[in-house]
Structure 1
Amino acid sequence: MLVGYARVSSVGQSLEVQLDALKDAGCEKVFSEKRTGTTTAGRDELAEALTFVRDGDTLLVTRLDRLARSAADLHTIVNRLSERGVGFRCLQQSGMDTTTSTGKLLLGVLASIAEFEADIRRERQREGIDRAKAAGIYKGRKPSVDAAAVRSLRDQGLGGSEIAKRLGIGRASVYRALQANNAQC
């Protein structure tokens, strides 16, 4: 049986292209989710797909990064499948079929390249943020709590819980705003 797995990283992204490709490839059952791929933790549909597949089945994904973002996670998943007699295929990397020796070799090479690309992307992003901070352009996100309103309500004699309720924020945010104010004095 061909079993598909599709994943996108955020709720705003569409699974449609992956689902269509997996169905066109002949998948009888497809598991899909909208979760980050940086770790396998919390990916319930992936866990269910790995539990569902049986000896002789093949798990299909459209691209390697839909299954795992690190070579270690990818190898762990593929080894788990192999131990159960389950093959693995990747549609967009056509030689990726772990039921063949060439496919196993290609898996290792492509997994290493994918992890390398992710590391390079993170490094470039960090360098860009550091440059923007040094130039005074990047200052982080805007405060979500109006510290002046917190101080004003506190000056009126209100406690943390009441301030939080009136402003629609958490109590911890109230105390952080007050603490930041004290640190500035």
Structure 2
Amino acid sequence: MPMKIGYARVSSTGQNETAQVDILTRNGAEQVFIDKASGTSRDGRPKLAEAIRYARKGDALVITRLDRLARSVPDLHAIAQELQAKGVDLIVTEQKIDTSTSMGRLMFNMLGAIAEFETDLRKERQLDGIAKAKDEGRYKGRPVTVDGDAIRAAIAAGDKPMAVAKRFNVARSTVYRMKAEAMLDDAAIAP
């Protein structure tokens, strides 16, 4: 007999999933999987993977809103294709989407595109705000946490990049970048 499987996600451990779980159970979810993680990617969301594995042909994955499942159209489509390949429908309670119907599939695709558009707009507004704050002298960027002079001195002394990275607790890419910058500076100074 087909089963409704609920999936809830909150972005952090400080948030509460109770409201989502209540909606899912009122909509017939017999088993609910809960992640406390960012929705920007599927990485770090083991309960989503478990819910998809648990679902069988004819079942439905029930969520409250599309943004609880994914934050990008490609990720949303990848999840939808995985569900479709298994013969599992997707039901979104608050947005009245049921992919077992053609209208539901259309709404699913449209809302996914709108969600990605909103995320892009939010990023653009953030970048605009940072640019404005820089122009007004209110934004100086993140404080420097790397002792560049000490790293350059260690490189000049012939220390290996891996050793320098470990000693200063930085990524090797930082060491290589500083090494390249030092080489460019040396080339600019040389006659």
Q: Aligned residues, how many?
A: 154
- Kindly, what percent of the aligned residue pairs are identical? 50
| 1:144 to partner: Cα distance | 7.5
Provide the residue aligned with 1:46 in structure 2: 48
SS in 2 for 1:32: strand
- Aligned residue for 1:46, secondary structure, equals helix
Q: Which residue of 1 aligns with 2:85?
A: 83
Q: Which runs of 5+ in 2 are unaligned?
A: 148-165, 179-191
What is the aligned counterpart of 1:60 among 59, 62, 81?
62
3-state SS of the aligned residue for 2:95? coil
Q: Distance in 2 between matches of 1:13 and 1:134?
A: 36
Alignment partner, residue 13 of structure 1: 15
Aligned residue identity for 1:136: G
Indicate the SS of the match to 1:36. coil
Q: C-alpha displacement at 1:62, in angstroms? A: 0.5
What SS class does the counterpart of residue 50 from structure 1 fall into?
helix
Task: Determine the structure 1 residue equivalent to 2:181.
Answer: none
Q: Which amino acid aligns with 1:13?
A: Q
CA RMSD, 1 decimal: 2.3
Deviations 1:106-146 (A, max 9, x none): 1111111110111011100111011112212123456789x
Partner SS for 1:125:
helix
- State the alpha-carbon separation in 2 of the partners of residues 3 and 112 from structure 1: 25
SS class of match (1:138): coil
Distance 2:69 2:61 in 1: 10
Letter in 1 for 2:60: T
The equivalent residue for 2:168 is 172
Match of 2:99 in 1: 98
TM-score, length of structure 2 as denominator length: 0.73
Q: Where in structure 1 are there 5+ consecutive unaligned residues? A: 148-169, 180-185
